[in-house]
Amino acid sequence: METGTRLNKYLSSHGHCSRREADRAIEAGAVRINGRIAVLGDLVCEGDMVELHGQKVDPQAKPRAVYLLFNKPEGVTSTTDRAVRGNVLDVLRYPERIFTVGRLDKDSRGLLLLTNDGDSVNKILRAGNAHPKEYWVQVRRPISDEELETMARGVPMLGTRTLPCRIERISPRAYKVILVQGLNRQIRRMAEYVGHEVSILERKRIMHLTDKGLPLGAWRELTDAEVGQLLEAVKHSDGGPTERVEGPRPKDFLQPGPGYRGQRFRR
């Protein structure tokens, strides 16, 4: 029986893209193995030559593992696709190849993880691993305790039902919600189910990572302790974390972009 590394995992572990992005590139015919166009599910064995968009992937190249925390403002799209106006890379101007871990709506703000370690860190957002994410939500009119309790118990959405979650009131029009899943526009759809429209949505925490000391529009690299805790949380997931490669660290940008004015969150 032939053994090897799945092609999408091979590309992500070498820092070229996430597994999902690798699958899209494979489907588009942009990946070759030993000269032939690759297909989904292909394995890469020792000695194989892999090309992505016509560029050879160096099998020995293991980039320094990068983990960034970005406090995304509204209006920035959670993608590293340069063809999309207002993409994350244009805002961060980070000198190395990175990609987003999960998404945050363009009209939402708050914490977003970025990395070149596509083999392990994507697992942190899987609902089955129960990794919490905390959001602060403001709606356009006062919301009742009954409506908050209805959302907390779970509501039908996208052919399924949201998992029970923790919701705490902040003010008559604002509340905090902690989720372990991430359905498409879940928080906005939950509010719509009980007859409310979200005016401000801000992600304040991803697991142990918070926005403390990180202004909107700013980013920083995770500390060694934060990375260790992150990798510990995913070590039993399928595939396990990749080995962290150390190297020079670019300067963190801890100040928001010039002239940024976001909506104020009202208590």
In this predicted model, what pLDDT tens digit does every residue of 8-45 receive, in sequence order? 888 877 777 777 788 989 999 999 999 999 999 899 99
Gap between the Cα atoms of 190 and 181, Å rounded: 13
Do 115 and 212 belong to one domain? yes
Do 122 and 212 belong to one domain? yes
Q: Is residue 245 part of a domain?
A: no
Name the nearest CA neighbour of 185 among 201, 169, 170: 201
Among 56, 75, 96, residue at a domain's last position: 56
Do 100 and 214 belong to one domain? yes
Q: Is residue 28 part of a domain?
A: yes
Q: Is residue 155 part of a domain?
A: yes
Do 164 and 74 belong to one domain? no
Do 88 and 136 belong to one domain? no
Per-residue pLDDT of the chain (267 residues; tens, 9 = 90+): 457 888 988 887 777 777 778 898 999 999 999 999 999 989 999 889 999 999 898 887 777 788 999 999 999 998 888 888 889 988 888 887 788 888 899 999 999 999 887 666 566 655 456 688 999 999 999 999 999 999 999 999 999 999 999 999 999 999 999 998 888 899 999 999 999 999 999 999 999 999 999 999 999 999 999 999 888 877 766 544 444 444 445 555 654 443 344 566 666
Do 221 and 109 belong to one domain? yes
Gap between the Cα atoms of 2 and 10, Å rounded: 16
Task: Dump strand ranges (E) for 91-149.
Answer: 99-101, 109-115, 133-139
- Give me the DSSP letters along 187-220: HHHHHHHTT--EEEEEEEEETTEE-TT--TT-EE
Q: Is residue 267 part of a domain?
A: no
Q: How many of the other CB atoms lie within 10 Å of CB of 35?
A: 7
For the question of residue 90 being annotated catalytic, the response is no
Do 230 and 107 belong to one domain? yes
Q: Is residue 120 part of a domain?
A: yes
The whole domain housing 26 covers 5-56
Alpha-helical runs (H) found in the chain? 7-13, 19-27, 88-92, 145-153, 186-193, 224-234
Do 103 and 213 belong to one domain? yes
Q: How many domains does the chain have?
A: 3
Sign of CA dihedral 232, 236, 238, 239: positive
Q: What share of the chain is helix, strand, coil (3-state, %, to 5)?
A: 20, 25, 50
What is the model's pTM?
A: 0.74
Do 152 and 119 belong to one domain? no
pLDDT attached to residue 112: 94
Q: Is residue 252 part of a domain?
A: no
Q: Is residue 255 part of a domain?
A: no
Q: Is residue 248 part of a domain?
A: no
CATH number where 71 lies: 3.30.70.580
Sign of CA dihedral 155, 109, 80, 18: negative
Asked if 265 and 174 touch (Cβ cutoff 8 Å), the reply is: yes
What is the torsion angle, in degrees rounded to the nearest 10, for the CA atoms of residue 225, residue 230, residue 232 and residue 233?
A: 150
Q: Catalytic one among 105, 107, 117, 252?
A: 105
